[in-house]
Amino acid sequence: MLWIILAIIISYFIGSIPTAYIFGWVIKGADIRKFGSGNVGATNALRLLGKGWGMAILVLDILKGFLPVILLGDFLVKQFSLTQAQNLFIIIGLSCICGHNWTIFLKFKGGKGVATTLGVLLGLTLKIPGLNIVLGFTALVWFASFLALRIISLSSILAALSFPLFTILFRQSAMVVLAGILLSIFIILRHKSNIKRLLEGKENRISFRK
């Protein structure tokens, strides 16, 4: 139990690393929270720092979710049954996402959690059979809606809503379905301001030319 608690704490602190905030200060000497949407994430970093740095932050935020599931989970998995191990992977992943969303380093105000959630799910696909199909269909929802509407926040919300539905459709375990519902709630809650702008017709679209 001590090792489990330690793994959860480590995962939270890894998720808490405010990548976009750090890059904003190092590269531009600017607080990303005072720029654009004020969000500490890759999309806002792209607006402040440009495509190259924005993509780098996106990759790092994905890795923040991927690595704890793979490394910390593998460290503990030999002590548990298959079902217990899969549940442990999920708990570690959720802890990492909580770290990103509510980082201790920025007074518990973090990013939207989409990239780190993707990283966690990519890690879980290597541990939980059939989850790769669920993630594939969820990604298809994101890309289809983005290509049609060019609004990142709306694509993220639609993908978040579809994910738990796909876990049910493809008969994942109760723990995976529950985790899917929690992840969906996390993402929607973190997009409250975006939802308000969407309803007002003020949410920014991404220009493919730019």
**pLDDT of amino acid 4:** 84
User: Residue ranges of the domains in the chain?
Assistant: 2-200
Distance CA 126, CA 70 (A): 8
**pLDDT of amino acid 106:** 93
Tell me the H-state helices in the chain: 2-16, 19-23, 42-49, 51-67, 73-77, 82-101, 114-125, 131-149, 152-169, 174-190, 192-200
**pLDDT of amino acid 36:** 77
pLDDT digit string (tens) for 16-47?
999 999 999 999 888 998 887 788 888 888 88
Residues in the chain, pLDDT under 50: none
69 neighbors 76 (Cβ within 8 angstroms)? no
